[in-house]
Amino acid sequence: MILLFVADWARNGQLAARSGEDHAATEYLESTLVAVADAALAAQNAVVAASALGLGACFLGSLRNETDFMAEEFALPPGAVIVFGVALGWPDPAERAGVKPRLPQRVVRHRERYTDAAPEDIEAYDRALAEYYRAYGRSHSWISAAIGRVRDIAGLHGREGMRAAFARRGLPSR
């Protein structure tokens, strides 16, 4: 099963229009951020509930690769954009699933002020993640992947047009 999570101002815009009111505030970045955050919170709660039922979950950001197609395929009204999906299913008991390492708390949690991560913490995490991936027959460097995401436009993997796609869907994010 795949659940779709939508940044959605369509309903509120329709309510305003039926009342003869404008809905110009939905055109601003703050509104887009609220809609995306709401979708993310709903998805995370769905994943927690699914996990409690013994289901596995995988977030699908790839649905943003074809924003217009996805909107047409699922008949979304203007003002609504699929921001990601979540695939749910029963894990195969024969598949040995490990727990993927995470960055240490001292890297991601800050008290009072943001602090830069210690290089040795990042390097240790990179080694731990590489070891985890090796167990699954993959070779992967978290540091290289992180740099690749920010180095240039290629790191966006074709999603550099998201603002235009959102604008076409009625969420221009001015």
* Domain range 2-94+158-168, its CATH number among 3.40.109.10, 3.40.190.10, 3.40.50.1100, 2.60.40.1180: 3.40.109.10
Q: What is the pLDDT of residue 35?
A: 95
Q: What is the pLDDT of residue 122?
A: 95
Q: Radius of gyration (Cα) for the chain, nearest Å?
A: 20
Strands 80-89 and 56-60: antiparallel
Q: What is the pLDDT of residue 98?
A: 80
Q: What is the pLDDT of residue 119?
A: 95
Q: What is the pLDDT of residue 136?
A: 87
The token pair that represents 76 in the structure block? 């979304």
Contacts made by residues 22-27, CB under 8 angstroms, sequence distance 24+: 26/79, 26/170, 26/171, 27/171, 27/172, 27/173, 27/174
Transcribe 68-111 into DSSP letters. Answer: HHHHHHTTPPTTEEEEEEEEEEPPPTTS---------HHHH--S
Please choose, from the candidates 82, 62, 61, the residue with its C-alpha nearest in 3D space to the C-alpha of residue 10.
Answer: 82
- Report the chain's mean pLDDT, rounded to a whole number: 92
Q: What is the pLDDT of residues 60-70, one digit of tens each?
A: 999 999 899 99
Low-confidence ranges of the chain (pLDDT < 50): none
